[in-house]
Structure 1
Amino acid sequence: MTLLQVNNVSHRYKSRSFFKKESHSREVLSDISFSIEKGTCLGLLGTSGAGKSTLGKVILGLEQPEHGEVLFQGQNLYKADKKIHQQIRRDLQVVFQDSYSSVNPRLTAERIIAEPLENYESLTIAQQKKAVIELLERVGLSENDLKKYPHQFSGGQLQRINIARAIALKPKLIVLDEAVSSLDMVTQTLILELLQGLKEDFQLSYLFITHDIKAAYTISDRIGVLEKGKLVQQYDSKHEFFTSEHSAVKEMRSSILAEHPRFRSIGTKEKAYAHA
């Protein structure tokens, strides 16, 4: 079942010179099409400036593209009526890169996680607290963390809270926008393991937007490569990605540093990573 369908999306940013009246436009997305099936993860790889963040905003309904359409569960994201759009917002969630700016620093973990429940569910205070505790425990935290504020958590712990909030309504799709890139390697691994477990337990689908090949390789079922606003390649398996001869993909692979020093000679990085 196709959950998300992006059809021929293109977008430009317009800017006006301070001294001149004429405006200029810069194309950031060009004729992008892809789909995500239920229960799968599409890793979207791209370097800085490739258009990843803009595409994420388009898919989340935060920025309407100049051309093309985004269909979520068969509904056009930008033509849906209020009732359908509300359902889309329930089923489509996001976890951003910066875990601290994604939360209100004045709210406790309990209030942060409870926010979507308050907006969409009719629960008693006791039911809501029980649900929040279960969500905290599911992401590796505990009831003892209920009354803590964001500054009392590490970056990894706070990202777990953001993930708990994202899964609170049992969504169909979560957009993970560089969700692990600001974390250290050990914490990255733990969060990726958590995301993989949640995906299997709740039959979640992910759009995993990242510049990190290793992270994409770890969690993705399929991989797409974004370069200068264009989706230049899509791969149905990790093997296809790591054996691709496309120049952009080869450049990405060449930047991988093997985890073990004995693999760190030229020409062995890809082989080393494929066995990591």
Structure 2
Amino acid sequence: MSLLQVNEVTHSYGNRTFFKWQNRSKKVLSDISFSIEEGTCLGMLGTSGAGKSTLGKVILGLEKPKHGQILFQGHDIYTVDKYTRQKIRRDLQVVFQDSYSAVNPRMTAERIIAEPLENYEKLTLAEQKRTVIELLEKVGLGEKDLKKYPHQFSGGQLQRINIARAVSLKPKLIVLDESVSSLDMVTQTLILELLRELKEDFGLSYFFITHDIKAACMISDTLGVLEKGELIEHYNSKNEFFSSENPVVKEMRGSILAEHPRFRSIRTKSNYI
């Protein structure tokens, strides 16, 4: 049994006028199906507006799809009983793109990371503090950062805190929604290396949402491509992705810039015809 199964998921939003919602709806996901196995990372690639973040919200239980099922460890997350839903919430975590809006600015790093522990674990204050320090050290920070507030961290450091919070309960799956896209290239690389290490150390699985092919290839075991709400390709390896003849995928590959500006060329529409 797969850890996560997405079965024929379709989702749409109503069109709003100044006065009311229109009957017509805009389809943002169309008949999406795939699975994620334990201990693996599926990288979901797509341009802006392809439906990636909506798919992430559907998987997290934040937006019920119009049709289809989301099965997590064999349970439909939208029809399970209260007890099972609580267990799923523990085992299914998320790291969002904007590290600052994902935290309470009035909470210290210690309180941010301890929040899920307080909700799900019965630890003494000393045990909780020790666990938080261990998590901070795991993500490259330390005890000296316990009492700092979000504004006292860089974007990369605060994302490390968000990651520490996400792994604190040792979940089965973490949804990473453009979680490195707002960071500079050096910080991106460091965070991706951290995520790879945590995946191995904790036996995690990831659903990695991104528009960045390089980031996806650095962390993913399999790759999917969303285009206008449809899963147009699903590859079992990076080699399959880079050898694909799909025109959308070829255009995505053509958008990769060389590491050094000297080796970059200006691409025009004719390059993709």
Please confirm whether the aligned pair reaches a TM-score higher than 0.5, indicating the same fold.
yes
Name the CA distance, whole Å, in 1 between partners of 2:140 and 2:54.
31
Aligned match of 1:9: 9
Give the CA deviation at 1:107.
0.2
Aligned match of 1:240: 240
Aligned match of 2:199: 199
**1:87 maps onto 2:126 in alignment:** no
Q: Note the alpha carbon deviations across 1:51-82, whole angstroms, 9 max, x for none.
A: 01110000000000000000000000100100
Q: 1:21 to 1:152 in 2, by over 3 A?
A: closer
Task: Please list, as runs of the form range in 1=range in 2, the aligned pairs for 1:1-276 lying within 5 A after superposition.
Answer: 1-18=1-18, 22-261=22-261, 263-265=263-265
Identity %: 77
Give the CA deviation at 1:24.
2.2
Report if the CA contact (8 A) 2:44-2:224 is conserved.
yes
Give the CA deviation at 1:23.
2.9
Name the CA distance, whole Å, in 2 between partners of 1:182 and 1:263.
24
Name the CA distance, whole Å, in 2 between partners of 1:101 and 1:262.
37
Q: Which runs of 5+ in 1 are unaligned?
A: 268-276
Q: 1:151 to 1:242 in 2, by over 3 A?
A: same
Q: Note the alpha carbon deviations across 1:142-179, whole angstroms, 9 max, x for none.
A: 00000000000000000000000000000000000000
Name the CA distance, whole Å, in 2 between partners of 1:82 and 1:19.
37
Name the CA distance, whole Å, in 2 between partners of 1:129 and 1:198.
20
Name the CA distance, whole Å, in 2 between partners of 1:67 and 1:21.
20
TM-score w.r.t. length of structure 1 = 0.94
Name the CA distance, whole Å, in 1 between partners of 2:2 and 2:21.
45
Report if the CA contact (8 A) 2:14-2:21 is conserved.
no
Q: Match for 2:28: what amino acid?
A: V
Name the CA distance, whole Å, in 2 between partners of 1:167 and 1:57.
19
Q: 1:24 to 1:190 in 2, by over 3 A?
A: same
Report if the CA contact (8 A) 1:3-1:72 is conserved.
yes
Aligned length: 267
Q: Which runs of 5+ in 2 are unaligned?
A: 268-273
Q: Match for 1:43: what amino acid?
A: G
Pairwise CA RMSD: 1.4
Give the CA deviation at 1:258.
1.0
Give the CA deviation at 1:264.
3.2
Name the CA distance, whole Å, in 2 between partners of 1:20 and 1:80.
33
Give the CA deviation at 1:21.
7.4
Name the CA distance, whole Å, in 1 between partners of 2:20 and 2:139.
53
Name the CA distance, whole Å, in 2 between partners of 1:231 and 1:170.
29
Q: Note the alpha carbon deviations across 1:185-234, whole angstroms, 9 max, x for none.
A: 00000000000000011110000000011100100000000000000000
Name the CA distance, whole Å, in 1 between partners of 2:140 and 2:51.
33
Moved more, 103-112 or 23-32: 23-32
Give the CA deviation at 1:2.
1.0
